[in-house]
Structure 1
Amino acid sequence: MAVRRPAVALVATLALGLAAGPALSAPAFAAPSAQKAAVAARTAGPDAEALRAALAGLPDADATAALVRVGGTDGSWRGSAGVHDLVSGTKADPNARFRAGSTTKVVTAAVVLQLAAEGRVGLSTPVQRYLPGLLSTAFKPITVRQLLNHTSGIQAGDGFGDSFEDAYAHRFDTLTPKEVVASAVAKGPEFRPGEQQDYLNINYTILGMLIEKVTGHTYAQEAEHRIFRPAGMRDSYFPGTDPRIHGPHNHGYQAVKQADGTTTFVDVTDWNQADRWAAGDMISTTADLERLITHLFRGDLVPGPQLEEMFTVPSGIDGADMSAGLQRFEYGGKVYWLKSGARYGYSAVVAATRDLSRTLVYSVNSTDAKGESMNPVAQRIAVAALK
C-alpha cells in the first residue's frame, strides 16, 4: 500500500535542509575542555547565533518578514525580522497576527478528539452515520479516524482555479465548504478507505461539518470554547467570509513574474478564505500557536487515550507520516510532531517533541507560500531551530 504525498513535502524538504545544514562546532581557538563545554551548551538550548543568521537580510526575494519562537524545557529564543509592508518599510510587528493555514487542522483534530472522549463521536464509526446523504453511494463506509489521518480516499474539492491569477481574481468571492464538498463527492472515491494516505483539506472540511452536526454549534464557536479559551489563545479567530486580518498584522505578498521578465510583489493580505474553513482558515500568532502545542502535548486539551491518536500514524501504509492533525518527522535521534500551513503571503509551522523539550513556531511572509518547495527562509529557521 502506498502513501500519497502532500503538495508541499515539508518533512522531506526539512530533512534535506537539516542534513545539509551546518554542523555544530566550537570556536577554533577554544581549548579541548572548552570545546566540549561549548558544544554541550549549544546542544542544550536554542542556537541564538544561528537563529539570528537565519533571519538576516529580510526583506528579500523569498520573504518580507519572519516571526520565530523557539521554546521548551531546553530553553527559549524569540526573534523577528523584515518589514510590516513594502511601501512604508516599517519594522515587522513581532506580535502580529497572520493566516495560519493548515495549522488549523490541529485545532479541528483536537475538537473531534474531545467529542470522542465525551462519547459523542466514535472514531471507528463511519462518518456517513453522522452526516447521512453527504457522500454518495459510490463511497464505502469512511470512519472518522480515516478522515483524521487522511486515509479516507475522498478526492480534493474544487477551488477558484488552479493558478494564482485565477485565485487572485476571486479573492473577495465566497466558496462555501458545502460547495467544496459537493465538488469532491461528484468525482467519486480516489481509493478504498484505509488503503492509502493522501493529505487533503477535504477531510478536515468534512470534520468541520461533523463538529457542527454533533454539537449544534458553529465550528468557530466550538473551537473558541474548547481550544482557544482553555489554551489562552486570545489573538486567534476564524474570519469567515471577512477578507481582512483584524488587529496588528504584517502584509503578505506573492511574487509574480511579468511578461518582460521582471517580478512584481502583489499584496495578498486581504483574501476571503471561507472555503478553507476547518482545514485552514485560522488567523493566529506565534505566541498562540506555541500555547496550543504546549497545552495540547501536556494533555490539557485532549484526554490521554484520545491524545494518542495525534501520535499514531496508520500502519500498513508505506511512507505514511500523518496522524490526527499532525505529521511525524524524525531527525538527529529525535521525533518531532509538526503541522505546516500556507496561504498566499503566509507560511507557518508549529512543531514540538512529545516531551516538549523543544518547540518551534514560525510565521514567514513567504513570497511563494503555495510553491512546491520549502521557502528558503523557513528552511534556514528550521535548520537553526531543530539542530
Structure 2
Amino acid sequence: MAVTRRKSLAVLATAIAVLSVGDMIAPAVASALPSGKDPLRQAIAGLPDDSATGAQVRVGGTKGPHRVVTSGVADLRTKTSVKGDERFRAGSITKSFTASVVLQLVHEKKLRLDGTVQHYLPGLLPASYDKVTVAELLNFTSGLPSADDYGDLRKDRYKTYGHWQLSKSHFNKPMLFKPGTEQHYANIDYNVLALLIEKVTGRSYEQEVRDRVIKPLGLKDTYSPGNGTEIRGRHTKGYQAVKDPRTGRTHLVDVTDWNMSYTWASGDLISTTADLERFMTALFKGRVVPQTELKLMFTVPKVKMHEDGRTDTTNAKDAYYSSGLTRVQIGKNTYVWGKTGGTMGYLSAFGATRDLSRTAVYSVNATDAKSQTPPAILRKITMAAFTE
C-alpha cells in the first residue's frame, strides 16, 4: 500500500509546487525551540527535519501544569514558526465526534444499539451479509470489508465522492468475519454511522455534528469542511515526502488542500489543540454524551483483533478500540483514553487519563503521515506528556 501511495503522489508532483527537502528544511532548523532538559521540548526539538516540519503540543489536566510547546514551521516557504493555535486536519479524531452524535441519538431513542443497518438503511448492504448492528459499527466489530487501497483516490484530491455510493462500493467482497466476533479498525464503520445519522434525523451529518457538539461546546475553530478543499483561517501546512523517480531526490509536496469527502465522518474534521482539549474534557466529564451511553466509549469489547488470513486466534492481540476512543497502556499502571488521526501531512491525537489528571493534545506535520511505521516523535511526545 505504501508503494502505491508514493506512486500516486508522484503524479501530483507535476501539478503542485514541490519543495526540496535539502533546500527548504535546513535553513529553518534555527526556528526550533531550545530543548533544555524539558522532556516535552526535547521530544519535538529540531524541527523541521526529515520526519516532520512542525509540531504543537498542549498538555494539562487537574495535576497540571498546563502549557503549550511548539517546534518547527507552519509554512516552509514563509518559514513562519508554529505558534500553537493553528488549525490542522484532525483525521480519525473525527470518529470521536461521530460516535458522540450517534450515542446522543441512542439516548434519545432515535437509534437503537441493537438496531441493524439492514433495518435503517435497506439496500446498502448485500442480502448475503449478516445483520450488522449500530453497536458493532461503533466498536469496529461489524465485519464490514474496507477499501482495498485508497491509493487511486489520492490522485483525485479535488474530487467529490457521494457518501452512499462510496460506502456501497466497499461491499463487493464478503464480510471479514461474523459481526461481534473480532475487531477491525476501518473508516467504513463510521461512514455508515453518518448515513444512519442522516436517515434518522433528516439533516446532514455536518449539521448534526455542528449543532450537537461543536456549537454547544464553543469550539470556534472546529468544523467539518464538507466538499471544501482548503483549511480556513490560520493553519499549519501539510507536506508529503515524494521521491522523484528520475533524479532519486526526495521532495516535499504541499498536500494541505484536499477534498476529504472520501473519509467524511471517519476523518474530515478540522480543529485546533485548544478545541480538542475542550472537547475531550467535556466528553470525559459527561457533558457531551449522557453517562449511560458514555460508558460505551470507555468499554473495549472482549474480542481479538482481526488479521487477514488468520485461522488461529490464540496469539491474536486483544481489542483496544472502544466506541469512538482508543485505550492505550503507558507503563505498568497508566491507561490513556483518546483518539489518534492521520491524513496526508498531519498526525494528531488527544488523550487523557480517565480522571483527567493528565491530558495531552498534539498535531505533528509528518512528512509521511500514512506510513505503516509512525515517526519516533509520536512516541516521544506521548511518553513525555504522561510520564514527566
Q: Shorter-chain-normalised TM-score: which range? A: 0.7 to 0.9
1:103-252 to structure 2, matched below 5 A, reads 103-157=93-147, 161-162=150-151, 166-252=152-238
Superposed CA deviations along residues 264-305 of structure 1, whole A, max 9, x for unmatched, are 011000111111111001001111110111000000011111
Whether the 8 Å contact between 1:274 and 1:281 is mirrored in structure 2 is yes
After superposition, the Cα gap between the structure-2 partners of 1:226 and 1:48, relative to the gap in structure 1 and judged at 3 Å, is farther
Percent of aligned pairs with the same amino acid: 48
SS in 2 for 1:67: strand
* Distance in structure 2 (CA, Å) of the matches to 1:158 and 1:270: 24
Whether the 8 Å contact between 1:158 and 1:180 is mirrored in structure 2 is no
Unaligned runs of 5+ residues in structure 2 are 1-35, 305-316
Residue of structure 2 equivalent to 1:14: none
Residue of structure 2 equivalent to 1:70: 59
Whether the 8 Å contact between 1:138 and 1:189 is mirrored in structure 2 is no
* Distance in structure 2 (CA, Å) of the matches to 1:191 and 1:184: 15
SS in 2 for 1:274: helix
Residue of structure 2 equivalent to 1:31: none
Superposed CA deviations along residues 331-362 of structure 1, whole A, max 9, x for unmatched, are 23011112110010000011111110111100
SS in 2 for 1:190: coil
| Alignment root-mean-square deviation, CA | 1.5
Residue 60 of structure 1 pairs with residue 49 of structure 2: yes
Whether the 8 Å contact between 1:153 and 1:196 is mirrored in structure 2 is yes
Residue 361 of structure 1 pairs with residue 361 of structure 2: yes
Residue of structure 2 equivalent to 1:297: 284
Residue 96 of structure 1 pairs with residue 86 of structure 2: yes
Whether the 8 Å contact between 1:157 and 1:180 is mirrored in structure 2 is no
Residue of structure 1 equivalent to 2:352: 352
Whether the 8 Å contact between 1:158 and 1:183 is mirrored in structure 2 is no
Report the TM-score, using the length of structure 1 for normalisation: 0.84
Provide runs of 4+ in structure 1 moved above 4 Å: none
* Distance in structure 2 (CA, Å) of the matches to 1:385 and 1:77: 11
* Distance in structure 2 (CA, Å) of the matches to 1:158 and 1:275: 14
Whether the 8 Å contact between 1:314 and 1:320 is mirrored in structure 2 is yes
Report the TM-score, using the length of structure 2 for normalisation: 0.84
Please state how far the C-alpha of 1:89 moved relative to its aligned partner.
1.0
Please state how far the C-alpha of 1:229 moved relative to its aligned partner.
1.5
Superposed CA deviations along residues 152-190 of structure 1, whole A, max 9, x for unmatched, are 01011366x42xxx4442111122222221111122311
After superposition, the Cα gap between the structure-2 partners of 1:284 and 1:48, relative to the gap in structure 1 and judged at 3 Å, is farther
* Distance in structure 2 (CA, Å) of the matches to 1:272 and 1:158: 20
Residue of structure 1 equivalent to 2:270: 283
Residue 87 of structure 1 pairs with residue 73 of structure 2: no
Whether the 8 Å contact between 2:183 and 2:303 is mirrored in structure 1 is no
SS in 2 for 1:214: helix
Whether the 8 Å contact between 1:150 and 1:199 is mirrored in structure 2 is yes
Whether the 8 Å contact between 2:302 and 2:318 is mirrored in structure 1 is no
Superposed CA deviations along residues 4-37 of structure 1, whole A, max 9, x for unmatched, are xxxxxxxxxxxxxxxxxxxxxxxxxxxxxxxxxx
Q: What count of residue pairs does the alignment treat as equivalent?
A: 337
Whether the 8 Å contact between 1:93 and 1:248 is mirrored in structure 2 is no
